[in-house]
Amino acid sequence: MTETETGFQGRRVVTLAPEAPHGAIVWFHGGGWMLPLAEDAIAWGRDLAAATDHAVLLPDYPLEPYPAPNAWCTDFWRHCAQTLPGPLVLAGDSAGAHLALCALPAARPDRALFVYAVTTLLPTRDFGSWRAYRKGWALSPRLMDHFIERYCPDPAARYGASPLEQLEALPPTLLITAQDDILADQQADLARRLGAEQHVYPGAHHVFLSRPEGAPFRAQALADAAAWLAR
């Protein structure tokens, strides 16, 4: 496994590559659009690269209010699509999956992989998972509302910042979903509307990829992602 650092528009990009990679995965990290978790994503990136035999690119995108992160991530994804050999996978978790979904129209990937994606910023609170996992499950509605307010302070702009309201189709896409997560039903809605494949992990919480207690689910998610990419 090799680890290199490059830059794009003034931001760091870490690339983790196995020997003779079969393709590349562009991965946008989570963190509610405001937490600097690029460094924390490196351990996951190493595991993902080893499991899938793909190079994994981890960009440290700007943590600023909308639309700055979207613009940067879209530019970076377009750049990767123009310069990297295929097959290319567009991916991310949580807020990073949201940014990847927003960037998707800039260049269609061969495949996409999204983990507990934030698919809407609109005031939709009728999802059953939003009500069922309000407290004690790593991500709460109150915290989510705080993230959205910081990311997109203008309520009038949230329609344009919500990829689920803009996309008409997805490439072959795998959604990895923690069952015990307020966003679980948003994932199911995305799968139903746009025909994505969804794997739900009963007992898993939001951020299980990075929490020690999520290790069994993390291992299964890696195996499932590798098998799906190998089809």
| Residue 131 confidence (pLDDT) | 87
In Å, what is the CA distance from 123 to each residue of 117, 158, 185? 16, 9, 14
Angle between helices 95-103 and 68-83 (to 10 degrees): 60
Dmax of the chain from CA atoms? Answer: 47
Q: Which residues pair with 57 in a beta bridge?
A: 15, 26
Query: What share of the chain in percent tops pLDDT 90?
Result: 84
CB atoms within 10 A of CB 118: 29
Strand partners, 197: 174
Which pLDDT belongs to residue 165? 81
State how far the Cα of 50 lies from the Cα of 60, in Å rounded to an integer. 21
Task: Report domain extents, the chain.
Answer: 2-230
Q: What fold is seen in the domain 2-230?
A: Rossmann fold (3.40.50)
Identify the DSSP state of 11: E
**Chain-centroid distance, C-alpha 147:** 16
pLDDT per position as a tens digit, 32-42? 999 999 999 99
pLDDT number for residue 157: 94
- Which has the closest alpha carbon to 116: 12, 211, 14? 211
pLDDT (0 to 100) of residue 127: 84
173: helix, strand or coil: strand
* 231 residues of the chain, pLDDT tens digit each: 999 999 999 999 999 999 999 999 999 999 999 999 999 999 999 999 999 999 999 999 999 999 999 999 999 999 999 999 889 999 999 999 999 999 999 999 999 999 999 998 976 667 889 889 988 888 999 999 999 999 999 999 999 899 988 898 899 999 999 999 999 999 999 999 999 999 999 999 998 988 888 999 999 999 999 999 998
What's the pTM? 0.96
Sheet of 173-180, strands arranged across: 2-8, 11-17, 55-59, 24-28, 88-93, 111-115, 173-180, 197-205
Query: What gap in Å lies between CA 98 and CA 91, rounded to an integer?
Result: 10
